[in-house]
Structure 1
Amino acid sequence: MAEPSAIDRPQRFPPQIKFLAWNEACERFSYYGVTSVLTIHMVRNLLLRESSAEAAYHLFGTAVYLTPLLGAWVADRFWGRYRTVFWLSFAYVLGHATIAAFESPAGLFAGLALIAVGAGGIKPCAAAFVGDQFTRENRGLLKKVYDLYYWMINLGSTVGTLAIPLLLDRVGPRVAFGLPGLAMAVALLVFWLGRRRYRYLAPSGPRPHGFLAVVRDALAARGAPAAPGAGLLSRAATRHPPEAIAGARAVLGVCGIFAPIVGFWALFFQYGSSWVLQAERMDREVLGLHLASSQVSFLNSIFVMALIPLFAGGLYPWLERRGVQVTALRKMGAGMFVTVLSFVAAWLVEHALEAGIPVSVAWQVPQYLFVSMGEVLVSVTALEFAYTQAPPTMKSTIMGLWYFAIGLGNFVTALVSAANRFHGTAYFAFFAWLMLGCALWYVAVARRYRGADWPVAGEEAA
């Protein structure tokens, strides 16, 4: 009987993907384990005001998602993605150890700073390194692998969000922050174990035709005429090759898509701050179990793990069979509008609390469902979008820009919390209107976006 051809043979993920998937699950356990109790720890144990704790929580999130720009630059130009993830993971482990060892505001903030440095290397590089394991022959599996990758993220965050609040309440901060550090050490070990199987792409080294060089020279030549219909970047064509101009234009196009999504992230991470504090004032007895307020956010991970296969295996094919083209841009747009509903639901819960109505924490289920739907549509899709729309030499950088958008969203929330101008229902109404405005902005930008079809990077890599 004849062997099936390579074309007929079902495609499978590269075997090294399992190391990257479990590395991500352990790292997400450590991160979400800490963030699930961070706000409550600052309020209960460090005696910070609620508004100050919320601001500190989101400033930490800002740092975690802004440092990837530097990590991406180091990876793309000098170290490569593997070495950047490996070495900066040690800062991550040390950050957890610092928080566990020093139970004080100074110890907490020093540890969080180290975690932010570690995240700067891991976040833009780990997701791009997953994409690097695929060649032209199995590139069609990218969409599926990022579904798996995101599923593993939420597996780790679910376990961390359920376990760490219990440890904080029953054992104390030292163990509650120490266990995530151990999980991060395991993540580093798993990543290292796959080192002989990975597909490595060499860093580009210093690039005279990089994105910043093209933009700089285009601005410097602002008196020169631009080519008809080619945009302002064409002014740099005398100093840079056409592929460099095209790459810079692609980066700016992707930034245009990411800009309104900042509003999504300004809402999303509030499940770890304002939603936790809202749950603190609710009846948390559910089916005979008493939930800690910081445990309720496990609903997000549970919903995401259920929705990823439901959407990928059910909803998207169903829409395609009915003639609806399911593109990355459309999925992200739908997610933006769905997320508006999450804060409308949170506003209704807050309204009931202010009216003195006894409210079960089960009333928070709709807001978690809507924000989880938004996450699957926006964030899962964006990983694939960012990788495929990036020029071959800028994969980590584009991922870094995606995380930069997340950091800006956290910064917006930190500013609103620190200003302390909105309270109760007005707070949730403000963010609902903000999200609606950003969703409409996104639609206007996405309509003008023209996608890129870049060749697979590093085909020559071993």
Structure 2
Amino acid sequence: MSEMNKQKIVSSVPQTGFFGHPKGLFTLFFTEFWERFSYYGMRAILVYYMYYEVSKGGLGFDQSTALAIMSIYGSLVYMSGVIGGWIADRILGPSRSVFYGGIFIMLGHIALAVPGNIPMFFVSMVLIVIGTGMLKPNVSSIVGDMYSETDARRDSGFSIFYMGINFGAFIAPLIVGEVGMKHNFHLGFAIAAVGMFFGLLLFVLTKKKNLGLAGTIVPNPLSPAERKRTALVVIIALIVIGAALIFMIPRGWVTIDSFVTFIGILGILIPICYFVTMYFSSKTSTVERSRLLAYIPLFVAGVMFWAIQEQGATILAAYADNRTDLSIGGFSISPAWFQSLNPLFIITLSPLFALLWTKLGNRQPTIPKKFSIGLVFAGLSFVVILIPGTLAGENALVNPLWLVLSYFVVVLGELCISPVGLSATTKLAPTAFSAQTMSLWFLTNAAAQALNASIVDLYTPETETLYFGIIGGASIVLGILLFLIAPVIQRAMKGIR
């Protein structure tokens, strides 16, 4: 996308109307609110749905298998953002990609809402993976489109946008978790489908007035020859994949373990391929190449952070269900409610962080230093949660306040990394790969969860202290190292702060 197009897009968006930010932030705030309501509502009960016995309305999977599937599912959700970003950059544009992605997500939740069997469960997963890949990176890319590169409101705008994500994520486990855990899993999934419908409706009704041209331009459209070549590649790929599955499935080669290994390899190879492709592209300038090199250590830091944060929906979810005293003053709380802690703390603290960065202005920590601080907090959150088990023993139920404290500490890290990472990605992205670079940022989460799928089965009550200690310690060490090399990274950003 040319500089002229960027300026034209910014000029087309009403620049005031939502807390001093572009009016389109209202549309994207509430679109993402409802999309996250549907996703986190579903996710709050999904792991329990998998490992609860059939007699309790679940699928009856082994708990370690359920945790691995949950991680793989999360990895694929974010990995599919690569495809969604490419579709937006080359074919549909971000706005239409968001709309079609929402349709797929809604259909996926509807599939989960239909009482069925394991095949229906996997059909729903495919639909949600495709839909989230098309929607999530592109809605964030549209937020970036509304601000000029020099607009001082940019980081604050992403922090406000991030609050919208977390308002939906906070409410969803309380509602969907209550209905799904205490009444019926499928009814809970149906509520998630309704949430996505509201998000789509709001987006369609307000985008023309509030977003102007933001998200409507295809940055790097396919030429007619490229369209034919791409269609041929897709057809051949589908044939090869289909033939491989037909050959491997009867021989028992397609197992959870082999799939975990395969996704783990993809989690490493896909980002490498993307970095190499963008770096050596003739459409990437010399300054943009330097910024891409600066982005690599931030990417690695993101993977480490999300490897800890995303275990809130797997290891810590099981910890809440099996290791936590859920009876408070004679009142029984749902383990799914703990999934609301992360967004609750983000909602509470996001305005403070947004105000802090605004007040500090040019005196605020650089992007690499914010990442390093976030990694240290993430590591400390695991140090916190190993304490009660060490003190009380592997068979005792622990006070739920330990879980609350762990979620609180990791949120301090998240607010230094996640909204900052979104903003940094839009700043450091090569112009020709804007949406795809946002997809690359979401691959930090995909790679982290692919890694988690391989290590969650190492967690047991007996290995609890060692598990939390090693992972938490590794994050703290990486955070310190990143802080030390932050000035080198900052220079490579070529003027971006």
- Aligned positions of 1:222-233 closer than 5 A: none
Determine if contact 2:108/2:126 at 8 Å carries over to the other structure: yes
SS at match of 2:207: coil
2:261 maps to none
Cα distance, 1:436 vs structure 2? 2.5
Of stretches 295-304 and 243-252 in structure 1, the one that deviates more from structure 2 is: 243-252
Q: 2:468 aligns with which of 393, 413, 428?
A: 428
User: 1:33 Cα shift?
Assistant: 0.5
Is 1:179 aligned to residue 185 of structure 2?
A: no
**5+ long unaligned stretches in structure 1:** 1-6, 218-232, 455-462
Asked if residue 189 in structure 1 is aligned to residue 201 in structure 2, the reply is yes
- 1:277 aligned to 2:318? yes
1:246-285 paired onto structure 2 within 5 Å: 246-280=287-321, 281-285=323-327
Take 2:424 and 2:180, find their aligned partners in 1: how far apart are those partners?
38
Contact 1:77 1:206 in 2 (8 A): yes
TM-score, normalization by structure 2:
0.78
The SS at the match of 1:20 is: helix
User: Bigger CA drift: 127-136 or 113-122?
Assistant: 127-136
Match of 1:117 in 2: 130
| Mapped pair 1:340 → 2:382 | no
Q: Aligned residues, how many?
A: 421
**Moved segments of 4+, more than 4 Å:** 211-217, 315-318, 355-358, 418-422
State the TM-score, normalized to the length of structure 1.
Answer: 0.83
For 1:33, the equivalent position in structure 2 comes to 41
Mapping of 1:376-391 within 5 angstroms? Answer: 376-391=415-430
Q: Where do residues 391-402 of structure 1 align in structure 2 (5 Å cutoff)?
A: 391-402=430-441
CA–CA distance in structure 1, aligned partners of residues 370 and 99 of structure 2: 33
State the Cα distance separating 1:28 from its structure 2 match: 0.5
CA distance in 1, matches of 2:277, 2:208: 40
Match of 1:23 in 2: 31
Determine helix, strand or coil for the equivalent of 2:208. Answer: coil
Is residue 483 of structure 2 the alignment partner of residue 443 of structure 1? yes
Question: What's the % identity of the aligned pairs?
Answer: 24
Aligned ranges 1:23-422 → 2 under 5 Å: 23-44=31-52, 45-135=58-148, 139-197=151-209, 198=211, 199=213, 200-206=216-222, 215=276, 240=282, 244-280=285-321, 281-286=323-328, 289-313=331-355, 315-316=356-357, 320=360, 325-354=364-393, 356-418=395-457
Q: Is the 8 A contact 1:251 1:398 kept in 2?
A: no
RMSD, aligned CA: 2.9
Give the deviation of 1:84 after TM superposition: 1.2
Change (3 A) 1:201 1:255: farther
Deviation readout 1:376-395 (Å, 9 max, x if unpaired):
11112111111111123322
Distance 2:379 2:110 in 1: 38
The one-letter code sitting in structure 1 at the alignment partner of 2:475 is: M
Residue 387 and residue 213 in structure 1: after superposition, are their counterparts in 2 closer, same or farther (change >3 A)? closer
Contact kept in structure 1, 2:301 and 2:371, CA below 8 Å: no
- How far apart are residue 359 of structure 1 and its match? 2.2
Q: Distance in 1 between matches of 2:18 and 2:102?
A: 35
Q: Deviations over 1:333-354 (max 9, x none)?
A: 1111111110001111232452
The structure in which a higher percent of residues are helix is 2
CA–CA separation in structure 2 for the residues paired with 1:213 and 1:290: 48
Cα separation, partners in 2 of 1:42 and 1:404, compared to 1, 3 Å: same
Contact 1:390 1:398 in 2 (8 A): yes
Which letter maps to 2:337?
A: Q
**Mapped partners of 1:360, 1:93: distance in 2:** 37
Rounded to whole Å, the distance in 2 between the matches of 1:269 and 1:216 is 28
2: distance between equivalents of 1:390 and 1:78? 19
Q: Which amino acid aligns with 2:219?
A: P
SS of corresponding position for 2:384:
helix
Per the TM alignment, residue 274 of structure 1 is displaced from its structure 2 partner at its CA by 0.9
User: CA contact under 8 A between 2:380 and 2:476: conserved in structure 1?
Assistant: no
Answer with 396-405 or 345-354: which moved more: 345-354
Once the two structures are superposed, residues 12-54 of structure 1 have per-residue CA deviations (whole angstroms, 9 ceiling, x without a partner) of 3222221111000000001111111111111111121221111
